[in-house]
Each structure stands twice: as C-alpha cells, then as structure tokens.
Amino acid sequence: MRFNSLLFFLLFTVSGFTQTSDSLTLEKIYGEVLGSSSCYDNLRVLCKTIGHRLAGSPQADAAISWAENTALANDFDTVYLMPVSVPRWERGFTERASFVLGNDTVALPIRALGGSVGTQGVVQGEIVMARSIEELREMGREKVAGKIVFLNKPMNALLINTGAAYGGAFDIRSQGASEAARLGAVACIIRSLTLADDRYPHTGAMSYAEDVVKIPAAALSSADAYTLSQHCAKEPVRFLLEMNCKSYPRTTQYNVIGELKGSTLPEEYIVVGGHLDSWDIGEGAHDDGAGVVQSIEVLRCLKAIGYQPKRTIRCVLFINEEFGNDGGITYAEQVRLRNEYHFAAIESDGGGFSPRGFNLEGSDGHFERLNSFRSLLEPFGLYQFKRGWSGVDIAPLKNERTALCGLSVDTQRYFDYHHSDNDRFENVNKRELQLGAAAMASLVYLIDQHGTE
Amino acid sequence: MRFNSLLFFLLFTVSGFTQTSDSLTLEKIYGEVLGSSSCYDNLRVLCKTIGHRLAGSPQADAAISWAENTALANDFDTVYLMPVSVPRWERGFTERASFVLGNDTVALPIRALGGSVGTQGVVQGEIVMARSIEELREMGREKVAGKIVFLNKPMNALLINTGAAYGGAFDIRSQGASEAARLGAVACIIRSLTLADDRYPHTGAMSYAEDVVKIPAAALSSADAYTLSQHCAKEPVRFLLEMNCKSYPRTTQYNVIGELKGSTLPEEYIVVGGHLDSWDIGEGAHDDGAGVVQSIEVLRCLKAIGYQPKRTIRCVLFINEEFGNDGGITYAEQVRLRNEYHFAAIESDGGGFSPRGFNLEGSDGHFERLNSFRSLLEPFGLYQFKRGWSGVDIAPLKNERTALCGLSVDTQRYFDYHHSDNDRFENVNKRELQLGAAAMASLVYLIDQHGTE
C-alpha cells in the first residue's frame, strides 16, 4: 500500500510536471511565432523579390541562394546544399488560344501544362468534348482523330476534402494528352483542376506515355471551360492553339538543408520541410512558399525560445517537387547512403491555411503516440490526427521506423490558387501561416521529448 | 438469454438503422448545399445590390424587403415581419483627419464610431496617447484636459481565438470616449480593433456614459495607429478631426421571419438566424450577410431534400444586432408574450469561414446531447463541441429549456474584415460559406430527430 501510494505519487507528480512543462513550452512556441513577423516577411521576400521558381529555372537558383542565406542569417548550426538533378522545361513567350463560332473568334486565357510540347505554329481543329478519360476512350479513334480533345471533367464539389476532389480529376491533366494522342487527336485541352469559378487557368505536371505521339496540352479556366462546353453542346466549335513551350537537358540544382544539432541524440533526425520550387506562374505562395517559410520558422522559433533539442532538427527545402519529385527522391537516397536514422519527418505542402492537425503515415505505435499528444495540441485548435497522406517530398523516406507526418490544414481555398497566377502572397493570411508553423514546431518539440512510439 | 439476445439484436438494429439514416440525411444535406450556388448567389445580391445596411437606414429597409422576397421565393410555409424599434445614426458626408508635425499636415483615413457625435467644425488638439483605459485614468485630468486622447491598445495577437483578443481590446471602443471626456478631453481616437496590418479603419458601436460631455470618437487603421504612435513617442503631435455624424429619432424596422411548419410538433420551434443589419461601410459580407444567407439556406435545403420536420424550423433574420440588439431583444419578448416553446436556437455571426463545430449555452443535458452528435458530424470536418458564446441575437432567448448554439468557425481572418470597408463579398469563399450552412442544417436535422437532451 505504502509502495503503491508512493508510486502513484511519483507517477502523478512526474506526469503532472511533464504536462505542465510541455504546455508551457507549447505556449512559448506559439508566443514566439505569433509575436514575430519573421515567417510572413520571409514569404513576402520569396514571393515578391523572386516570385515563381520552377525547378531548372534561374528563379529557382535565386530561391536556393535566398534559402541558404536565410538559414545562415538565422544562425542554424549547419547549412548546406545537396545537389539534385532536375528537368528543365520552359513555357516560352507565346501561349494563346481562341475558339471560333461562325465568324467570331473568341480569345481565352490558357496555360500550357508542365512538360507539354509546343505547337510548332498554330494547331487547329474541331473540338471533341469528353467528361472523363473513360468517355474519351469510348468515343474511339473515329470520332477523335484529327481533332482537339477537350477534357471537361470538373472536380467533385460535393467532397468535403478538396484534396480528394483533386485526386478524382487529376487523370485528365496527367494522362489526358496521352489518351487523346492514342486516338489520333492533334492537341488536348483540359478544364483546370480548381473548385473556383473564375478565369485563371491552372497548370501542373503532365507526361507522355512512351507509345504515343507527343501532342500539346493546355488548361482552360473553369469559367471558360463552362462557356466552351455550352457551345460544344450546341454546334461544332473550332479551336486554335499556339504555344512555344520546350524541354531542355536536365541541370543540377539543390535541396537546401539547415540544422539545429541535437544535444544527446544528434544522430537521430527529425525533419521539417516543404518544397522550394513552384510552378512557373503566380508566386508559389501557398504552393509551397508557405511550407518553406514555415519550416525555416520551426528552427528559428525553437532556437529563439532557447530550446535545446535532444535530436538533430533538420529543415529540408526540397527542389523540384512539382515535376518529378527529384529533391525528395535524392534526399531519401542520401539518407540511405549515409545510413542516417530518421526518427520523424513533417511536411507542409497543403498551403498556408489554418492548421487542423496532422496526417500520419506510420506504424500503430506511431499513431498511438501522435494521438497521445492530442490533449496538448487541442487548445491550439489542432483536432485532426488521422492516418493519411503526409507529403510528396517526404514520401520516399517511408520505412517502418520513420513517422511521416503531414500538416493538415483547412483545404477549402487551396485549389482556388494552386498552380495558377492567383497563387500570390496577398492570398496568404499572416496568422493562418503562423499557426501552421507553430503547429509544426510543437510537434517537433513533442516528438523530440517523447519519441514517436 | 434468449430475451437478452433479442433485446441486443433489436437495440443493435434500431441504433444501426438510425445511424445509417442520419448519415444518409447529412450526406443529402451536404450534397444539396455544396451542389447549389443559392447561398453564395444570395450573398452576392445582398452585398452588391444593397450593400451595407445599418439599422435605421434606407438600405436596411431594402434588405428587409429583399429578405422577405427571398423567403417567399423559396416557398417557406410562413413569412412575416416583426416590428422592431431601432435607433438611427448617420455618418454624414464629412469624415476627415490629419496629424500635424511641424509644417507638415498628414491626412489619414478615419471612421467615426457608431453613435459618436459630430465635431461641429474642426476639433483640434495635442494628442495624448495611452495604451489602455487604465493608463488613461492614471494620467489624470491635468495631462488630458483640452487634448485629443489616442487609445492605442492592440488586440493581443498571441491569443489563438481572435474573438478573445477582440474582447480584450473592446473597451477602448465602447467606453474610450466616455473615459476621455471624464478627464476633459475634446475628442477620442482609437486604434482599430483588428489583427491585420493595413489602412482600413474599423468602426463599431460606442456609447456615452450619462455623466459625461459627449465628445467625438473615431477609429484609425492599425497601420496609421502605429505611425502615429511612433511620432507621439518622439514629439508633440497635433491632430485635426472633422466629422458630421448625427443621431436621429428612433424608427421602426423589422425582423424577417420564415418558417417550415412542423408535422407532429409544430408548437416546438428550432430557430436558425443571423442579423440582417450591418455597419454602414463595406458590404456586411462576413458580418453578417453570411449568417443571413446561411440561415435562409438551412430552410431551403431541408425543403429541397424533402425533409419533413417534426418541429417548426424558423429562420429569423434579426434587425439591429450592431447597435443595441433591438431585434434579438424584441424577438425574445415576443416569444415570451406568445408563450412559444423554443427548443433550440442556432446563430451564425462569426463570418462565412470554415466551420469547426458549435458552441453551446445550455444545460448539462443539452451538452451531452450535442456531444452525442459528434461522430455523425466529424466526417464533415466538425470537431469542436464546446460550452461557449452562442450569439448576440439569440442570447435574450436564454432560459433552462432552450439550447443556444453558435456556429463555431475558423476565426483567424474575421477581424481583418469586421466593421470595415474591407468586409466585401469578394472576401467570402463560396465553399466555406456553404459548409457553414450545411453544418447548421445538419444540426437542425439532428436536433429535430433526436431532441436536445
């Protein structure tokens, strides 16, 4: 009885202390992040002085230098670059389209899909519209050959999770051109992957199957896709397309890495990251400028509150998530070559929106531990701790030992901006951005203190 | 054993059925709301054809007519107006301010606080700055008399809940002028209640204590408050203010009420509501156009999916929340006079942002029942079911029997727009608005089916 009482007393005291100490540290983290404008100011500089930064471009070079200098300016213990081979594709100067109704020619904004071939002059043809890849296949070669395929598949607005809606329409962008080429089409245009009703076309990666002729591929805005579909339902519509986008030989760019060295377990790594590259339009503010500045902020704020991590906290700013995930793949290869033990990796690549929690890819033990942090994180508005997708860049790190966590944010507005000219600094809210950084820093702290399982 | 097994079977089957039936209905509700643009289109019309609509103004008359016609157009079973006595205050044509540094005069945007007297020509004086009402009081009459008080108290950015940060700085707007007048000041200017760093001044209600001379009161933007504070810290700054705002005798306007009649318990009411009035700048899009169109949408969508409510579902669009809560007070008086049993009331007045759950004012039984809906609502992103503030308009309904629920939304952006020219339709996201309406309709359905305790 006496022993049990003592044990009870000790357990109670220790766990009581830990809880209090953890809560106090989380409050310090939130205070530091919300009280400083560092992460918002960094995003402004990245978006406004460099702007968009497609992997392989001079702007991506500038972003790499900026990221390295920003990490150095924050006195991280180690800052270095990791070479990564990346593709190089350029949109070029000419990018225009019109549809023709009788004597009327109506110009409309388009954006070549990333990786598309150019048109070599103007391509034109009658439009054949399909609502899905399946519907296109059913049309067969007879109806499609020599024409311009218009894949008009909207994202499903009835899904609450807009990421799932994106996944459901993604195939028209990634495979649409190949499927159309297989049936003899001369070009492929798609409805932009967005839930907004506006005139911004949204680009994004596409690729060609090995067995097809490469035909040009471009996106129309959702509003123009609607207009065009109304005309196509009534009468034949001709479409004109000219783009001089082009691919070039691969080049070398860099993942940017900064660390806070661990005090007692420096050989165990906790990674936070986002991707430095963006599409070559807009400013890559939500995708993924937000993740970049948040990841830098995690290390800055832990250092600023005087936290001495047990493990090494590593910020990895990946190059080329958008167009082949070269940064993520190269990083994971290096981790294996160096035999580094990655304890956990946390990615932010869902935009700088209000965080709701974390998605986890990992073991049952990882999941239990993540859930044990719930009561500490709920006061900060973090409620969702689910199994689910973590992030493209950290996905290649997947193994039994590493807990992969994705910052889960409110998804409603993401695809309004994603891969479009509308993904600008002005569309990121300072506090929402900061809360994401503080959530990541809090999880890093809790994992460092209590492990992942 | 046999009996128990049967009981188990029955219980399991019945509860299994209910769960499935509830889930299916919630899916129908979300499908109907997300699949229609009705509530977003209504907000566009309210914001763009009527715009702001301060109680007592001709625009508020127009909004009342619009709301009545919209309810009629949606074929609600009963639509009627409830007379409410409201104050009438007008901003007037002149509203300008400058500060003077040596020979320089710098103009800056201001907004009179609602209820302020005018300046009767230009008021001018040296600025005396205080960070809080307490600091102002400590300065005493000697330092304040004849001067213009500048209350420069920022909202606390370290609080996660921006509503709490607003509550913490609210006194400078509501009582600042009276406190300044008590010490002999000639005018009172305040830092706007916002967390944004921009040049929008934010208005809002103020009132005068009975024992003071009424002095003019106005708000500066947060950016100008910062600039001015920097100058005040270094040197004497003179300030010039001219406003011709004015109060007029009270007038009569209306709460707009629409109902879906209950089938089996028509004398029991479930209210959904928001307030039809707004401040007299901007478009009152988030505050509270959102709540208005969401409340209309609740009835529209329940009707559209063919739901026959047991209880009467009543949409109440209150007049004059902003400036004395006359609509809410009058409504509660009428409820008592008519001896109507109000089962539950749900208000949306936190802006058209992503919903997170509901706040409840009610009994332990109400709270348990609300929490029993959790598993049904979590798939739709609703996680927060807490005791907390429900809403200004429904607060006068408070008694032991009525469950008062406030739609709880993400609060991060609300005070960027609140009571300012920036509260415009363009700053409301369609899906976030819709999700709020669907959340309210879901709770109405669950309460109608399962009661409140």
Q: What is the mean pLDDT of residues B305-331?
A: 98
Q: Name the closest residue on chain A to residue B431, using Cα atoms.
A: A412
CA angle B369, B370, B376 (to 5 degrees): 105
* Residue A159 C-beta-side C-alpha neighbours within 13 Å: 15
pLDDT at A329 over 90: yes
| Polymer length of chain A | 453
pLDDT at B5 over 50: no
* Residue A18's pLDDT band (cuts 50, 70, 90): low
Residue B446 near residue A429, CB atoms below 8 Å: no
Residue from the list B195, B379, B429 with its beta carbon closest to the beta carbon of A413: B429
Angstrom distance (rounded) from CA B414 to CA A313 = 34
Say yes or no: A119 contacts chain B, CB-CB below 8 A.
Answer: no
Q: Which pLDDT value is given to residue B18?
A: 55
Q: Name the closest residue on chain B to residue A34, using Cα atoms.
A: B158
Residue from the list B158, B162, B413 with its beta carbon closest to the beta carbon of A30: B158
At B142, which helix (H) or strand (E)?
helix B133-144
Q: Does the beta-carbon distance from B431 to A410 stay under 8 Å?
A: no
Angstrom distance (rounded) from CA A221 to CA A416 = 11
A289-317 tens-digit pLDDT: 999 999 999 999 999 999 999 999 999 99
Q: Mean pLDDT across chain B, nearest whole number?
A: 95
B117-136 tens-digit pLDDT: 999 999 999 999 999 999 99
Q: What percent of chain B has pLDDT over 90?
A: 94
Angstrom distance (rounded) from CA B154 to CA B157 = 8
Tokens of A167: 């996944």
In Å, the largest CA–CA distance within chain B is 97
* Residue A453's pLDDT band (cuts 50, 70, 90): confident
In Å, the largest CA–CA distance within chain A is 97
Q: What is the mean pLDDT of residues B81-105?
A: 96
| 3-class secondary structure per residue, A248-290 | EEEEEEEEEEEEECCCCEEEEEEEEEEECCCCCCCCCHHHHHH
Tell me B305's DSSP state. T
pLDDT at B13 over 70: no
3-state secondary structure of A403: strand
Tokens of B213: 């001379």
β-pair partners for B106: B99
The alpha carbon of residue A361 and the mean position of all alpha carbons in its chain are separated, in whole angstroms, by: 17
Angstrom distance (rounded) from CA A297 to CA A352 = 13
Minimal CA separation from B187 to chain A, in Å: 31
pLDDT at B260 over 90: yes
Angstrom distance (rounded) from CA A37 to CA B40 = 34
Span between the terminal Cα atoms of chain A, in Å:
31
Give contacts of A290 with chain B, Cβ < 8 Å.
Answer: none
pLDDT at A151 over 50: yes
Residue B296 near residue B74, CB atoms below 8 Å: yes
Residue from the list A158, A160, A412 with its beta carbon closest to the beta carbon of B429: A412
Q: Which pLDDT value is given to residue A373?
A: 96
Read off φ and ψ for residue A234, nearest 5 degrees: -105, -35
Q: Which pLDDT value is given to residue A170?
A: 97
Q: Which pLDDT value is given to residue A3?
A: 40
Q: Does the beta-carbon distance from A31 to B158 stay under 8 Å?
A: yes
Q: How many CB atoms lie within 10 A of CB B142?
A: 8
Q: Mean pLDDT across chain A, nearest whole number?
A: 95
Q: Which pLDDT value is given to residue A12?
A: 40
Q: How many CB atoms lie within 10 A of CB B405?
A: 32
Q: Does the beta-carbon distance from A431 to B413 stay under 8 Å?
A: yes
pLDDT at B240 over 50: yes
Q: Which pLDDT value is given to residue A20?
A: 85
Say yes or no: A337 contacts chain B, CB-CB below 8 A.
Answer: no
CA angle A148, A151, A154 (to 5 degrees): 155
A19-64 tens-digit pLDDT: 689 999 999 999 999 999 999 999 999 999 999 999 999 999 999 9
Minimal CA separation from A357 to chain B, in Å: 11
pLDDT at B84 over 80: yes
Give contacts of B197 with chain A, Cβ < 8 Å.
Answer: 430
CA angle A34, A36, A38 (to 5 degrees): 115
Q: What is the mean pLDDT of residues B374-378?
A: 96
Q: Does the beta-carbon distance from A160 to B381 stay under 8 Å?
A: yes
B134-172 tens-digit pLDDT: 999 999 999 999 999 999 999 999 999 999 999 999 999
Q: How many CB atoms lie within 10 A of CB B399?
A: 12
3-state secondary structure of B25: helix
Give contacts of B195 with chain A, Cβ < 8 Å.
Answer: 431
Q: Which pLDDT value is given to residue B102?
A: 85
pLDDT at A422 over 60: yes
**Torsion region of A252: left, alpha or beta (phi above 0 gives left; psi -120 to 50 gives alpha):** beta
Alpha carbon dihedral A223, A229, A230, A231, in 10-degree steps, equals: 110
β-pair partners for A356: none
Q: Which pLDDT value is given to residue B19?
A: 60
* Residue B452's pLDDT band (cuts 50, 70, 90): confident
Say yes or no: A233 contacts chain B, CB-CB below 8 A.
Answer: no
A97-112 tens-digit pLDDT: 999 988 899 999 999 9
- Strand positions, DSSP E, B221-376: 238-243, 246-260, 265-275, 311-318, 341-347, 355-361
Minimal CA separation from B33 to chain A, in Å: 9
pLDDT at B212 over 70: yes
Q: Does the beta-carbon distance from A160 to B435 stay under 8 Å?
A: yes
Give contacts of B430 with chain A, Cβ < 8 Å.
Answer: 196-197
ipTM of this complex prediction, to 2 decimal places: 0.93
Q: Name the closest residue on chain A to residue B34, using Cα atoms.
A: A158
CA angle B415, B416, B420 (to 5 degrees): 90
Residue from the list A354, A383, A412 with its beta carbon closest to the beta carbon of B384: A383
Tell me A205's DSSP state. B
B40-64 tens-digit pLDDT: 999 999 999 999 999 999 999 999 9
3-state secondary structure of A351: coil
Nearest in space to A397 (alpha carbons), one of A320, A328, A318: A328
Residue B98 near residue B217, CB atoms below 8 Å: no
Q: Does the beta-carbon distance from B384 to A384 stay under 8 Å?
A: no
Say yes or no: B413 contacts chain A, CB-CB below 8 A.
Answer: yes
pLDDT at B3 over 50: no
Say yes or no: A279 contacts chain B, CB-CB below 8 A.
Answer: no
Name the burial class of residue B315, with classes exposed (0-12), middle (13-18) and buried (19+) by CB atoms within 10 angstroms of its CB: buried
Q: Does the beta-carbon distance from B383 to A356 stay under 8 Å?
A: yes
**Beta-sheet pairing, A403-409 with A355-361:** antiparallel
3-state secondary structure of B421: coil
Q: What is the mean pLDDT of residues B386-408?
A: 96
Give contacts of B432 with chain A, Cβ < 8 Å.
Answer: 412-413
Give contacts of B415 with chain A, Cβ < 8 Å.
Answer: none
Residue A281 near residue A421, CB atoms below 8 Å: yes
- Amino acid letter for position B215: I
> What single string gives the DSSP state of each residue in B146-210?
TSEEEE-----TT-SSHHHHHHHHHHHHHTHHHHHHHTT-SEEEEE-S-SS-SS-----B----T
Statement: the pTM of the whole predicted model exceeds 0.90: yes
Say yes or no: B427 contacts chain A, CB-CB below 8 A.
Answer: no
Asked if residue A410 has a cis previous peptide bond (ω within 30° of 0), the answer is no
The alpha carbon of residue B160 and the mean position of all alpha carbons in its chain are separated, in whole angstroms, by: 19
Q: What is the mean pLDDT of residues A78-84?
A: 97
Count of pairs with CB atoms under 8 A, one residue in A, one in B: 61
User: What residues have CB less than 8 Å from A126, skipping those under 6 apart?
Assistant: A147, A148, A236, A237, A238, A239
Q: Which pLDDT value is given to residue A19?
A: 60
Give contacts of A160 with chain B, Cβ < 8 Å.
Answer: 30, 379-381, 435
3-state secondary structure of A125: strand
Q: What is the mean pLDDT of residues B282-303?
A: 98
Q: What is the mean pLDDT of residues B372-395?
A: 96
Q: What is the mean pLDDT of residues A72-84?
A: 97
Q: Does the beta-carbon distance from A435 to B160 stay under 8 Å?
A: yes
Nearest in space to A300 (alpha carbons), one of A63, A22, A40: A40
Q: Which pLDDT value is given to residue B324?
A: 96
